Structure 1
Amino acid sequence: MNNTTGLYPQLPTVTTSQNLVSHAGLATLTGLLNSLGFRHLAEDRLGQFAPTTATHRPGKMIADLVLMLASGGAHVTDTDQLRTTPGVFGPVASDATFSRFFTRLTEHPGAFDYAFATLQREVRSRLWAAVGQRSPAARATRANPLVIDIDASLVHVHSDKEGAKGTYKRGFGFAPMIAMADYGQGHGTGEVLAVRMRPGNKGANSAADHIGILSEALAQLPDDFYDQHGNLIGEKILVRTDSAGASREFLHHLHALGLQFSTSYALPVVNERFIGWINEKKYWEPALTAHGKVREDAWVIDASNILALKDYPPGTRIYLRAEPLHPGAKANLFDTDGNRVTAFLTNAPRFDPALLDVRHRARGRCENRIKSLKAAGLGKLPFFAFGANQAWANLAMFAFNLVTWLQLAVLPAEHVAGSWDLKRWRYRVWSLAGKLVTGSRQPRILVNQDAPEADLVLLLHERISLLAGRWRNGHLAA
């Protein structure tokens, strides 16, 4: 008789009545919400969306949905994972109660959008103030402004929903416009300032939509970006877009607000003389990598004196970048010497082509934020009503931002987890298992001391307690 050995131990599975917690790591986020006084803030701004006598208040329901989305849930029904552990997550509303809540939101979508925006701004202001000189507002200057990325994306749906239309990629769904704040290289990831749902057939190059989402994003910035008279300090902000944001109407709007901009630009058809000038790399300077090191196979140049810009805002300059074609890339008119030439426009007060090029190319970081935002709930819109899906997009944004704020305000500077994306937090921290016990009349969660991120979880709880203590004593500055 032959005995075989399996890949893994074959263990019988049984049920138990012990207080086991499948997402014990989420207690760090619940602690952060409690320290913020989120229940009171949400009741103040969203209390009108629940009956006065209702047991489940809007703040708790929104917090539960945000925790569910942050931990990987995709539907309202996924809150049942929280409902099984009331000792950790408190009483969680039923699916029917959540359904009635979204029905009320759909009846007054504009009121909810405004109330939720003011709620999120207050939370952001408190957390940015708490981190002192690490705050994106404190670090923003004319030479190194806060970067706001604006980009459109596609969300495909597989059933007929209100507002869903055919997309340019021959899909069906929505084309939300998203505005994001980039913390900058070495300062973590960044956060989402505003999400505006749009039908799938809306173009990415709409100046009106860019202006609209920018207005929402600017309204989210704390008071540090406004002077004593309430006027925006535009020189501390730079708006960065792809070529869809290079319309003259949008750039003139930025100029009128006093904002800096850096936007990709579709080069016009060139003539033979211009192509020859591009090939003369002696006029160019070496490009830099994201870490400031010289690249020997890429060049940049200020081409403002060669390419005339007509009807653009005063002070707009054009910069070119040349680098070898990537494998499999198809050559065009500009690629006569085997190099791909791209361009961007800017009105920044800095004139170093290589540094401006590095800052503009960092726009690729926003693609990672959009990917994480979709993983946080934007990628699967569960409702038929357009207003309900807009509210869901707002919740997804808050779930994404809550993790970002945890990295910014709670983690020590330069901690390795400060650059983790949402999916890594889910796998390594939120999914950490625990056991709820009570000793000396004090409930606590036990986690495996050998778990890879057990020390990180303990560190987060310790620093959240310190943060809550500072808020109670009125000491916001770090």
Structure 2
Amino acid sequence: MHHSTHVFPALSTQLTGQSLVSHAGLSVLSNFLNALDFQRVCEDRFSQFVPATAAHRSGRILGALALSLAAGGEQATDIDQLRAAPGLFGPVASDATVSRFMSRIKEQPDAFAYGFATMTRTLRSKVWAASGPRNPARLATPADPLIIDIDASLVHVHSEKEFSAGTYKGGYGFSPMIAMADYGKTNGTGEVLAVHLRPGNRGANSAASHIEVLNQALAQLPDDFYDERGNLRGEKILVRTDSAGSSREFLHYLDSLGIQFSTSYSLPVIKERFIRWIDEKKYWEPALNAGGDQRDDAWVIDASKVIELKDYPAGTRIYLRAEPLHPGAKATLFDTDGNRVTAFLTNSPRFNVAFLDARHRARGRCENRIKTLKSTGLGKLPYWSFASNQAWAVLAMLALNLVAWLQLAVLPGGHEASVWDVKRWRYRLFSMAGKVVSGGRQRRLLIPEKAPEARLLCQLHEGIGALFQRWRHGELAA
């Protein structure tokens, strides 16, 4: 008789009434929301969206949706994962209650948008103030400003939804414009300031859309970016975009606010002698890589005296970068010596060519934030109503930002988890199993001692508890 050899242990399965929790690691985010006094802030902004006698208040509904999206949920009904663990997450609203809440949002979209914007600004101000020496607002200076990345993306849908339209890639859906804060790789992964949902046929190079999402983002910044009269201190901010944001209208708008900019630029057709000048690399200087070291196969140069810029804001300069063509890439008119030549515009008060180039190329980090935002809810808009989908988009933003705020205010500087994206948080921490037990008139959450991130979970809980006590006793500005 032959005996089969199993790859893994084969266990019989049976049901149990024990208080087992499959997403015990999410307790980090639920405790963080409690420490932020999320319930009170939501009640102040959204009390009109729930009946006065309702047991499930707005904070509990929005908090459960944000936790579900952070854990990987894709629609409102996925909060049943939280409903299965009342000992850890408390009573969770039913699907019908959430549906009625979203219907009220659809009826009052402007009220919800204003309430959500003021709520997130309050929470952001509180978290940034608690981050101490890593506070992005206090670190921002004209020489090293806070960077706001603006970029458009495509969200494809597979059914008819309000205001959905065909996209330039032949798909169908929406083209949201997104503004994100990048406050340095050493301080975390950055966060999202605003999401402006648009029909799929809206172009990425719309100056009006750039201005709209920028204004939403600026309204999210704490008071440190405004003077005593409420005027924006634009010199402490740098807006970074791809070539879609290089329109004269948008750059003049930034200049009127005193904001710095760094935007990719499509080179115009220029005379042959300029192309020959570009080939003379003896006038160029080495570019820097992401670590700040010089590269021996890439060069940068200030071309402001050679390439004329017309009708751009005063002080706008153009910089060129040359690097080897990628395998399979087709050469353009300017790529005559085997190098791809690209350009960007800036009005920054700094003139270190290699530094400006490296800072502009770091714009690639915003692509990771957009990918993460899509994985926390933006990638699958579940409603037919445009207003409801816009509300879903900002809930996805809140889910992403909760993790970013943890990295900024709770984790110590340099911790390996400070650069994790949400998917890694889910696999390493949020999906951790546990068991709720009672004893001595207290309930406790038991976590496997051998779980790889058990120490990180305890460290986060301790950090959140310390922050809560400091907020409670007024040691930190709210």
- Asked if TM exceeds 0.5, the reply is yes
**Cα pair 2:23 2:430 within 8 Å, conserved:** yes
Aligned pair 1:425/2:425, yes or no? yes
In 2, Cα distance between equivalents of 1:188 and 1:342: 29
Alignment check: 8 A CA contact 2:407 2:418 kept: yes
CA distance in 2, matches of 1:220, 1:98: 27
Q: Secondary structure of the residue that 1:201 maps to in structure 2?
A: coil
Residue equivalent to 2:212:
212
Match of 1:106 in 2: 106
Question: Which residue of 1 is the match for residue 30 of structure 2?
Answer: 30
Residue 260, structure 1, aligned to residue 248, structure 2: no
Contact 1:320 1:341 in 2 (8 A): yes
Which deviates the most, 468-477 or 354-363?
Answer: 468-477
- Residue of structure 2 equivalent to 1:382: 382
Identical counterparts, % of pairs: 68
Query: Where does 1:111-126 land on structure 2 (aligned, <5 Å)?
Result: 111-126=111-126
Quote how far apart the aligned CAs of 1:439 are: 1.6
Paired residue for 2:180? 180
Once the two structures are TM-superposed, the CA of residue 205 in structure 1 deviates from its matched residue by 0.4
* Cα deviation code 1:298-333 (max 9, x no counterpart): 000000000000000000000000000011111111
Aligned amino acid, residue 163 of structure 1:
F
Task: Name the aligned partner's letter for residue 406 of structure 2.
Answer: L
Matched, 1:56 2:59: no
Q: Distance in 2 between matches of 1:392 and 1:477?
A: 30
Q: Say whether 1:445 aligns with 2:418.
A: no
Note the C-alpha offset of 1:196: 0.6
Q: Does 1:462 align with 2:462?
A: yes
Task: Measure the CA separation in 2 of the matches of 1:184 and 1:306.
Answer: 33
The answer to whether the Cα contact below 8 Å between 1:239 and 1:260 also exists between their aligned partners in 2 is: yes
Query: Partner of 1:330 in structure 2?
Result: 330
C-alpha contact 2:185 2:419 (8 A) present in aligned 1: no
Partner SS state of residue 217, structure 1: helix
Alpha-carbon offset, residue 6 of structure 1: 1.1
| CA shift digits 1:58-116 (9 cap, x unpaired) | 11100000000000000111110000111111111110111110000000111100100
1:221 aligns with 221
Which residue in 1 is equivalent to 2:398? 398
SS in 2 for 1:14: coil
For the Cα contact (< 8 Å) 1:132–1:477, is it kept in 2? no
Q: Distance in 2 between matches of 1:200 and 1:74?
A: 21
Q: Distance in 2 between matches of 1:214 and 1:151?
A: 11
1:286 match: 286
Shift of residue 185 of structure 1? 3.1
* Cα distance between partner residues in 1 of 2:38 and 2:460: 18
Structure 2: runs of 5 or more not aligned: none
Q: What are the Cα deviations for residues 143-179 of structure 1, in whole angstroms up to 9, with x where unaligned?
A: 0000000000000000000010000000000000000
Supply the AA of the counterpart residue of 1:74: E
Say whether the 8 Å CA contact 2:155–2:174 is kept in structure 1.
yes
Q: 1:72 — aligned with what?
A: 72
Q: CA deviation at 1:56?
A: 0.9
Q: Deviations over 1:381-410 (max 9, x none)?
A: 000000000000010000000010011111
Q: Is the 8 A contact 1:141 1:236 kept in 2?
A: yes
Write the letter of the residue equivalent to 1:117.
A
Partners of 2:286 and 2:298 within 8 A in 1: yes
Letter of the 2:407 counterpart:
Q
Aligned to 1:305: 305
Q: What are the Cα deviations for residues 234-268 of structure 1, in whole angstroms up to 9, with x where unaligned?
A: 00000000000000000000000000000000000
| C-alpha deviation, 1:132, in angstroms | 1.6
Offset of 1:462 from its aligned partner? 0.6
The answer to whether the Cα contact below 8 Å between 1:131 and 1:477 also exists between their aligned partners in 2 is no
Counterpart-to-counterpart distance in 1, 2:160 and 2:105: 20
Instruction: Give, as a single letter, the amino acid of the residue that structure 1 aligns with 2:205.
Output: N
Question: What is the DSSP-based 3-state SS (H/G/I as helix, E as strand, rest coil) of the residue aligned with 1:391?
Answer: helix
Asked whether the equivalents of residues 227 and 233 of structure 1 are also in contact (C-alpha less than 8 Å), the reply is: yes
Aligned to 1:414: 414
**Could you say what secondary structure the match of 1:230 adopts?**
coil
Whether 1:43 aligns to 2:43 is yes
Which segment is superposed worse, 128-137 or 196-205?
A: 128-137
Give, in angstroms, the shift of residue 54 of structure 1: 1.2
User: Does the 8 Å contact 1:411/1:418 carry over to 2?
Assistant: yes
**RMSD across aligned C-alpha pairs, in angstroms?**
0.9
SS at match of 2:186: coil
Looking at structure 1, the residues matched to 6 and 185 of structure 2 have their Cα atoms a distance apart, in angstroms, of 47
In the alignment, the residues of structure 1 paired with residue 306 and residue 429 of structure 2 have an alpha-carbon distance, to the nearest angstrom, of 54
Deviates more, 1:27-36 or 1:181-190: 181-190
The two structures have a TM-score, normalised by structure 2, of: 0.99
Q: Deviation at 1:477?
A: 6.8
Q: Contact 1:240 / 1:261 at 8 angstroms: preserved in 2? A: yes
Contact 1:373–1:400, Cα closer than 8 Å, also in 2 = yes
Asked if 2 retains the 8 angstrom alpha-carbon contact of 1:316 and 1:347, the reply is yes
The aligned counterpart of 1:137 is 137
Q: CA deviation at 1:186?
A: 2.0
Aligned partner of 1:269 in structure 2 is 269
1:186 partner SS: helix
Kindly indicate whether the alpha-carbon contact (under 8 Å) linking 2:325 and 2:340 is maintained by their aligned counterparts in 1. yes
CA distance in 2, matches of 1:413, 1:472: 24
Cα drift, residue 290 of structure 1: 1.0
SS in 1 for 2:318: strand
Question: Moved runs in structure 1, 4+ residues, more than 4 A?
Answer: none
Please, which runs of 5 or more residues in structure 1 have no aligned partner?
Answer: none
Normalised by the length of structure 1, the TM-score is 0.99
CA distance in 2, matches of 1:131, 1:148: 19
Equivalenced residue count is 478
Could you say which residue in structure 2 is the equivalent of 1:244? 244
- For residues 356 and 188 of structure 2, the distance between their equivalents in structure 1, rounded to whole angstroms, comes to 20
Partner of 2:196: 196
Contact 2:126 2:477 in 1 (8 A): no
Contact 1:437 1:444 in 2 (8 A): yes
